[in-house]
Amino acid sequence: MSDQVQPPLPQGAGYGVVVGFGVAFALGMIWVTRALKKSFNEDNKTTETFMVADRAVGTGLTASAVISSWLYSTALLGASLLTYKYGLALGVWWGASASTMVCFLSLISIEAKRRAPNAHTLLELIRVRYGTIAHLIWIVFCLLTNILNFSSMLLGASAAVTSLTGMDVIASTYLLPVGVGVYTYFGGLRATFLTDYLHTFIIMIILVWITIKIIVVKEIGSIGALYDAVIAADKENPVQGNYGGSHLTMRSEQCLYFGILHVISNFGAVIMDTGFWQKGFSANVAAAVPGYVLGGVASFSVPWAIGTFGGLAAVALESTSIFPTYPRAMTAEEVSSGLVLPYVVQAVAGKAGAGALLLTIFMACTSIASAQMIAISSIISFDIYGTYINKKATDKQLITWSHIGVVATSLVIPTLSTAFNKGGVDMTWLLYAIGNVINPGCIPTVFALLWKGQTKAAAIISPLVGVCCAISVWLGTAYAYFGEITVASTGSTMPCLFGCVTAFFVPLPTTLFISFVRPSSFDWSVFRTQIRKVRQSEQNVAEADQESEEWFSPEMKQYMRKMSRWASFWAVFTLIGHVFLWPLAMYGAKIVFSKSLFTAWIVVSLVYLWFTLIVGNFYPLYDGGARKIWVVLRGRVSPKASGEVDTPQDSSDASSDRPPKQANVETKVLTDS
């Protein structure tokens, strides 16, 4: 038998999904965009709608978008391949690195609404507070974050598409973003939210189906049989660094190292990704905290469940005749390229499974691609063109440059991903190494919104010092461990771990020291006075000023302070629970799972996965989406779209969990969407 694994699907299936579904989604989103304009007066040709969806996205859609944000093809493929290599602890660590960061972002989101309610991008806050030099530094950081995240996702997705269909890897790299670029071009961030929901709906159903297929396939048959098969495989090939050499233990050195690395790197991937900030800006004030918290908690299950099922099934099935590589084991290149999950799905579900996974990877890829395109295009239009090229840019000009940014992104990122592929850089290398270059901006960015004492000098110097220290430690450690600096050595666990930790923590004492040497205090009201909404005409300036005054009524201030406290609680609670009380505490227990404990572990992960399906698929419909869909399908015009608004409610509502209506006139249009 040839060592080359034959794709289960023909090339036509690959082109059909990548091109056909891309065109279908593009046409569908164009229709939806026009329908929303007719029914709800949402004009995607305005900057406020294109970039921040009129700041009116409800809780259900926000939560679904957050879940979608962590349905990276990188997460699905990476969690499976690393569980296959290092054990079941990996899925928990990956889930923790997602949920804790998103819940922390709920605090960022509500604080941004309190202090800069009219902001469009993270970089806008940096420019207003720290000036041009800091703004240019953050442009570089944020562009690197978006570009590397996008490239990593595209590398993994294109490799998986090629393995499933035989489609040329370069062709899949370039074609995957095409349809995304079209509907993002026409629909902006609103299209991103809608496609996030649709993609999440389809992906979650497929993922639940895949987990069931893995358990019931004849070669496994039950949770207990999966346990026995993994135990038998570990006797033949024990895992180095794991307690008892077993996959079924939480005491795994490599999983611990990865967990620390990924929690810290994901902090950078979230905080320095302007796309996450824009989704926060886009959420209605009532949806910012519950939407992010609900989505963050729900997102934990996907890497945990899929990583556990995919990785352990590969261990159990690799020596059976149904596995695609049989009778040989997977090569290191196949594993690092993310082919573990595709091979498992082929084994348990044949061509139907391969087709379902192909669709899942396409959905995951396009959903993330849309958010990244909006983020990058916003930087190009708003923070580069509108700030340095044409300071008096009109709303129409900003939209034009946003469109240019979308087109440029859909061409440049595939080219960069192809260069990575030809240079031997794969998805795993980017996954491990990205924190070395983006983490230095994390703490200064958080302080820019949460601490008025950080000075301009501290904000500029601390990330630059962090970059220099991180790269020195990263490359120096790679040379110390392996005696050379190559793609392989710099992508290894320990060099990336030391580099990422250095990148994250060095700016903290640096910014504190500089800020305390020559202290100053920033006036938060500067954000409100200098950051205004983009208006289509000067006639709307007075209206904007009136809305700003209403927004900062005593009732609204009280409500947002309350939500800020809730966000702080959930940020701390998820960090303690998902990191310290779960994987880190269980690392200290020197045990290999018993069959009963393993069974409970699998059952709980499945229940959690179904909870995520309910939150991502059905809660947005319950939260008002079904009513809005009905309005659109009937071709009716919403009363609120024609100018009708709710009357102000009593100020006693400020103590409730709902914001005062009087301060929410503009955003009430889509509160329940």
Q: What is the DSSP string of 421-454?
A: HHTT--HHHHHHHTHHHHGGGHHHHHHHHH-TT-
Per the rule left: phi > 0, alpha: psi between -120 and 50, beta: everything else, 72 is: beta
Task: Give whole-number Cα distances, 531 to 127, 526, 528, 534, in Å.
Answer: 10, 8, 6, 9
Contact (CB, 8 A) for 164 and 342: yes
Confidence of residue 381 (pLDDT cuts 50, 70, 90): confident
Contact (CB, 8 A) for 374 and 192: yes
Q: Which of 296-300, 387-391, 635-639 has the lowest mean pLDDT?
A: 635-639
* Average pLDDT over all residues of the chain: 83
Helix, strand, coil proportions of the chain in percent (round to 5)? 80, 0, 20
Nearest C-alpha neighbor of 138 from the set 448, 369, 401, 399: 448
What is the average pLDDT across 453-460? 95
pLDDT at res. 607: 95
What is the average pLDDT across 487-499? 92
What is the average pLDDT across 155-164? 84
Give the domains, in start order, of the chain with CATH numbers.
11-81+119-237+270-423+534-572+589-670 (1.20.1730)
CA 662 to chain centroid, in Å, comes to: 33
pLDDT at res. 184: 74
Does the predicted TM-score (pTM) go above 0.75?
A: yes
Q: Which of 100-109, 199-208, 391-400 has the lowest mean pLDDT?
A: 391-400
Confidence of residue 255 (pLDDT cuts 50, 70, 90): very high
In three-state secondary structure terms, 157 is: helix
DSSP state of 594: P
Q: Say whether pLDDT at 625 is over 60.
A: no
